[in-house]
Amino acid sequence: MAKAFNPDWYDITNFSMVVESEIIQENVWHTEKTWKPIAFHHPFLLWGPPGYVSNLRKQGFETFDHIIDESYDIEPDDVKRLTLIIDQVDRLKNIKLTDNETIKRTTHNHNLFFDTAWSKQQFNENLFLPLLALL
């Protein structure tokens, strides 16, 4: 089976529209869908549960509020949240996102994602310690 992933996609597109596995959940959990654009220096919009974007910021990542109206992240109604996201996609689809601030943020995110100390901290806080608490 061939991989359904091609890193060249990030070179020929302006941004990633990430649709997470869950849009309704109590515990915000980021999946590979969110991590891929971060790993490949790509700006993104995220459709997940309310607070999904702010949770990513709490982990130290920078989002793109300088070019994207991220107020959709706090909208509790799923249909309204998606409508707000679509409005942003329509606005951005023909804009090259190669300004210095966007490049600074995508570089920061890439570097943080591949930072070993950050990865260990995330593993401990989000997997190891919660498992220990169950024992």
Nearest 5°: phi and psi at 46?
A: -125, 125
Q: How confident is the model at residue 3 (pLDDT cuts 50, 70, 90)?
A: low
The secondary structure element, H or E, covering residue 105 is: helix 100-113
Q: Is the pTM of this model over 0.95?
A: no
Q: Which of 131, 45, 59 has the alpha carbon at shortest distance from 91?
A: 45
* Residue 2 DSSP symbol: -
Q: What six digits make up the tokens of 64?
A: 């793109």
* Angle between helical axes of 32-39 and 100-113 (0-180°, round to 10): 120
Place of tokens 């359904």: 4
pLDDT of residue 21: 81
Quickly list DSSP for 48-104: SSTTHHHHHHHTT----TTTS-GGGGG--SHHHHHHHHHHHHHHHTT----SHHHHH
Average of per-residue pLDDT across 124-135: 82
Integer Cα distance of 82 and 72 in angstroms: 8
Say yes or no to pLDDT of 25 above 60.
Answer: yes
